[in-house]
């Protein structure tokens, strides 16, 4: 396997082996989901009045990013994955890249500007496949059932719950700031 990684390596691409299949897979799927929330911050920022010094306030995106990593940790642990995947390239690294651009962050940007998921899918992103949203809609019932059963700690997943509500109920994404950083 290491020989395959060596063969695929370039000056800018460095594949790495991981024994944590579960953690890597959960990170790969849910980074798209959480990138929607990070993208929300950019759209919300567009609606705000310009500051006197014309500085951009990226604190909201940073806090959402941190909460996304905390919640990704909860999801990975609950399914038997390891912290290494969440804090490494499969989790934090890939979420960072995904949140910078792409369909998931564009959806979030539209939500941050006040559109709902359906308005975005029927309008500016008509015909686009948005993996994070499709994942959220697909697993919403399962995640909610796990929270109800106590398999997942609902208090540790406020961003997840808010995203699921926005995607499945076609409501505004209401970021639950006061619930952030309570546990993980």
User: Annotated catalytic sites, by residue?
Assistant: 31
Instruction: Give the closest residue to 172 by CA, choosing from 15, 47, 88.
Output: 47
Give the integer Cα–Cα distance in Å for 78 and 151.
7
DSSP alpha helices (H): ranges in the chain? 2-8, 21-47, 59-78, 83-87, 94-100, 103-112, 117-122, 131-149, 158-169
Give the integer Cα–Cα distance in Å for 138 and 36.
15
What does each C-alpha distance from 129 to 58, 88, 103, 108, 121 come to in angstroms? 27, 26, 8, 14, 9
What lies within 8 Å, CB to CB, of 161 at 6+ separation is 147, 154, 176
Q: Torsion-angle region of residue 153: left (phi > 0), alpha (psi -120 to 50) or beta?
A: beta
């Amino acid at each position: 396997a290491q020989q395959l990684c060596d063969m695929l390596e370039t000056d800018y691409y460095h594949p790495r082996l991981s024994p944590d299949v579960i953690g890597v897979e959960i990170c790969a799927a849910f980074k798209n989901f959480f990138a929607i929330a990070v993208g929300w911050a950019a759209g919300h920022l567009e609606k705000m009045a310009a500051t006197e010094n014309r500085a951009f306030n990226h604190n909201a995106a940073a806090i959402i990013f941190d909460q996304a990593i905390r919640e990704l940790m909860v999801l990975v642990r609950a399914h038997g994955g390891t912290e290494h995947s969440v804090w490494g390239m499969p989790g934090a690294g890939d979420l960072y890249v995904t949140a910078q651009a792409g369909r998931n962050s564009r959806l979030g940007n539209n939500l941050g500007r006040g559109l709902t998921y359906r308005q975005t899918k029927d309008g500016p992103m008509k015909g686009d496949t948005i993996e994070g949203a499709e994942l959220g809609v697909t697993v919403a019932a399962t995640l909610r059932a796990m929270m109800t059963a106590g398999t997942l700690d609902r208090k540790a997943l406020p961003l997840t719950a808010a995203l699921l509500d926005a995607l499945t109920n076609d409501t505004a994404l209401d970021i639950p700031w006061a619930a952030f950083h309570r546990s993980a």
